[in-house]
Amino acid sequence: MSADNQNVTATKPKQKGKSLPPKLIIWLGKFVWTTLWQLMMSQLAPRGKSGEYLRPSSQFRDSIGIDSPYPPATGRYQLFVGLSCPWAHRTLVVRSLKGLEDAISVAIATPDPIQGGWVLPQQEEGCRSLAELYQLAKSGYQGRCTVPVLWDKQTKAIVNNESAEIIVILNNAFNEFAQHPELELYPEDLREKIDWWNEKIYHAVNNGVYRCGLAQTQAAYLEACNELFATLDEIDAVLANSRYLCGDCVTLADIRLFTTLFRFDIAYYGIFKCNRRRIQDYQHLGSYLRDLYQLPGVADTCDLESVKQDYYGNLFPLNPGGIIPAGPDMSSLLVPHGRENIGKSTASS
């Protein structure tokens, strides 16, 4: 045997044992991941018997008023919000439209993907997280620590943490301090109609996108998805002859819908699998979204990058790789909406 052959023989790697069959590797991987996914989803998203997402109720439900323990005042109250959260976003929009920036301060919390929950970039009331703030307000609190929070700095108390009620408070309770007290987003003569839209939109759209994205069975997902797009189709038809949901003036119903529509093409279409149609593909919903976005001060409350970072970067069970999409291009929101005269010709005829 030549020296070269001896060298080849000496360096020949030892033969390893047989590798696992690809079928077994795939089965094992799916079993482990599915088990972990179900465990994580049970913590992230409470589910019903059919695998549908069940949103827990808010627990702090006080109001602000002359006869309340929390009277109207400027500088006394603070909003704790997350820029990615559609529920918190509602409160920022109403605060901006009413011109309450000088009366009500804002603290911005950010999601902590490692520990879970919301953290504060700087101490607020001696707290570095929303969980600590909730404990300060109610020692031994065991519920979810969510945004938004309407906080009373004087009594160190959470006045309210239900976004639907906070936006009514912001609309009604601080007019003496507002720059735009004449703006009425919940007028008496439209309240029945506004409440009807709010109930419908909450279940099918606001919470509907979460029912799609956090569904844990195919049946639960399809039920939520069908209801979501049936409702969007219905709204689109209404907007053909009405500038806003309740006529020619913006109401709380529009604001509650807006914060979901703003996130739809960015996040819900992709990560929540709400992908039958984009909002910009609708004949009227796309221009309606632009109309609301272009209202004075509203665009300043919208943070595209925070939305993408939170939904794609922090929802590990839905996007384990954490890859954040480069798009979409939202510059189309600045295109003229052309809705100024919708409904006017019908009303005058």
Looking at the structure, tell me whether residues 306 and 192 fall in a common domain: yes
- Of the residues 85, 127, 145, 212, which is catalytic? 85
For residue 92, tell me if it sits in a domain.
yes
Is residue 3, in this structure, part of any structural domain at all? no
Can you state the angle between helices 163-172 and 252-263, rounded to 10 degrees? 130
158 lies in the same domain as 216: no
Q: Do residues 152 and 131 share a domain?
A: yes
**Which entry of 53, 210, 293, 312 is annotated as an active-site residue?**
210
Are 115 and 195 part of one and the same domain? Answer: no
136 in the same domain as 224? no
pLDDT at 311: 95
Residues 118 and 195 in one domain: no
| Residue 104 belongs to some domain of the structure | yes
Answer yes or no: do 241 and 148 share one domain: no
- Does the active-site annotation cover 85? yes
Q: From CA 6, how far away is CA 222, in angstroms rounded? A: 66
Same domain for 203 and 168, yes or no, is no
Task: Specify the amino acid at residue 44.
Answer: L
Sign of the CA dihedral with 244 first, then 245, 248, and 252 last: negative
Distance CA 239, CA 60 (A): 35
User: Is the same domain home to 300 and 330?
Assistant: yes
Q: How many structural domains does the chain have?
A: 2
User: What confidence score (pLDDT) does residue 36 get?
Assistant: 58
Residue ranges making up the domain that contains 280: 188-342
Sequence-distant (6+) residues with CB within 8 A of 108 are: 81, 82, 83, 121
In a domain, 25, yes or no: no
CATH of the domain at 144: 3.40.30.10
Q: Clarify whether residues 143 and 91 are in a common domain.
A: yes
State residue 22's pLDDT score. 81
Q: Which amino acid is at 79?
A: L
Which of 152, 177, 202 is the endpoint of a domain?
A: 177
User: Which of 177, 202, 223 is the endpoint of a domain?
Assistant: 177
Residue 262 φ/ψ region, left for φ over 0, alpha for ψ in the -120 to 50 degree band, beta for the rest:
alpha
| pLDDT value at residue 347 | 45
- Domain check: are 95 and 202 in the same one? no
What's the pLDDT at 348?
45
Collapse the DSSP code of 157 into the 3-class scheme (helix H, G, I; strand E, B; otherwise coil) and give the result: strand
Query: What CATH number did the domain enclosing 197 receive?
Result: 1.20.1050.10
Q: Are residues 247 and 337 in the same domain?
A: yes
**Residue 30 in domain:** no
User: What pLDDT was estimated at residue 315?
Assistant: 85
Annotate 104-150 with DSSP letters as a single string: SEEEEEEE-TTT-SEEEEEEETTEEEHHHHHHHHSTT--S---S-EE
| Per-residue pLDDT tens digits of the chain, which is 349 residues long | 555 555 555 555 555 667 777 876 776 666 555 555 565 555 566 667 676 767 777 889 999 999 999 999 999 999 999 999 999 999 999 999 999 999 999 999 999 988 889 999 899 999 999 999 999 999 999 999 999 999 999 999 999 999 999 999 999 999 999 999 999 999 999 999 999 999 999 999 999 999 999 998 999 999 999 999 999 999 999 999 999 999 999 999 999 999 999 999 999 999 999 999 999 999 999 999 999 999 999 999 999 999 999 999 988 888 989 999 998 999 999 999 999 999 875 444 4
Give pLDDT, residue 285.
98
